[in-house]
């Protein structure tokens, strides 16, 4: 049985959309029947609102974002019967809690590290074969997808994607790590873990997308 890490944008797991949270819970149960499963949840718009109100220290802003992501993770775990009800707060706790049987759901771990990076750290720790990034866009594009003429990229190397994102002038600010950040891509490269990018707003489609490998973009290490 292969091991899968599913990264879910915090936009899709929040107290403002219970049906979507419940939809993800059903999706996790379906995936668990075929994969050993760990899940990492972002902070989303709730985290960004708290971060806006926080003191100027980026470290403190990160801490607030981490706490919100853990609450989102706990919320999802409560809706998912096969999930552990304890949210790990460190890499060592991830190792202690991981058994390959129950679904392990994780939020943020430490300041300066996006939940995209956390997903790759978790993937390293549990020996994952693949990270699936269920995000707010359906794929990686050759320029910001909001711009006219943006073209979908089917496959791209992690190092090439890092250069592409730098050309977009996206900044790694707390709560605004966008599609992927440099730390996540570096971990993917060193551990040879591929990342599949898909749109996460329709959780009921994710099991078939994974089964058919119908990725928006596949990021190769």
Binding positions for ATP are: 7-11, 44, 48, 135, 141
Cβ neighbour number for residue 147 with a 10 Å cutoff = 10
Between CA 220 and CA 185 the distance in angstroms is 10
Q: What would you measure as the largest C-alpha separation in the chain, in angstroms?
A: 47
Contact 44, 7 (CB under 8 A): no
Terminal C-alpha separation, the chain: 22
Residues ≥6 apart with Cβ < 8 Å to 82: 28, 29, 32, 102, 103
- Residues annotated in a binding site: 7-11, 43-44, 48, 62, 109-115, 135, 141
- Residues annotated in a binding site for UMP: 43, 62, 109-115
């Amino acid at each position: 049985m292969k091991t899968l890490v599913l990264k879910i944008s915090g936009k899709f797991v929040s107290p403002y959309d219970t049906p979507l949270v419940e939809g993800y819970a059903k999706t996790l149960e379906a995936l668990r029947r075929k994969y050993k499963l760990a899940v990492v949840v972002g902070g989303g718009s709730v985290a960004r609102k708290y971060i806006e109100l926080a003191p100027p220290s980026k470290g403190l802003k990160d801490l607030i974002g981490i706490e919100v992501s853990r609450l989102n993770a706990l919320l999802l775990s409560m809706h998912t019967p096969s999930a552990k009800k304890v949210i790990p707060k460190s890499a060592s706790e991830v190792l202690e809690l991981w058994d390959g049987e129950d679904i392990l759901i994780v939020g943020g771990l430490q300041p300066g590290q996006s939940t995209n990076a956390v997903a790759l750290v978790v993937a390293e720790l549990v020996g994952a074969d693949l990270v699936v990034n269920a995000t707010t866009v359906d794929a990686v594009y050759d320029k910001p997808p909001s711009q006219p003429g943006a073209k979908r990229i089917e496959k791209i190397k992690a190092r090439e994607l890092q250069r592409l994102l730098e050309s977009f002038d996206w900044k790694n600010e707390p709560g605004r790590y966008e599609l992927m950040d440099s730390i996540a891509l570096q971990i993917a490269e060193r551990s040879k873990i591929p990342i599949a990018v898909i749109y996460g707003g329709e959780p009921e489609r994710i099991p078939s997308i994974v089964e058919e490998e119908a990725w928006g973009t596949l990021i190769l290490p």
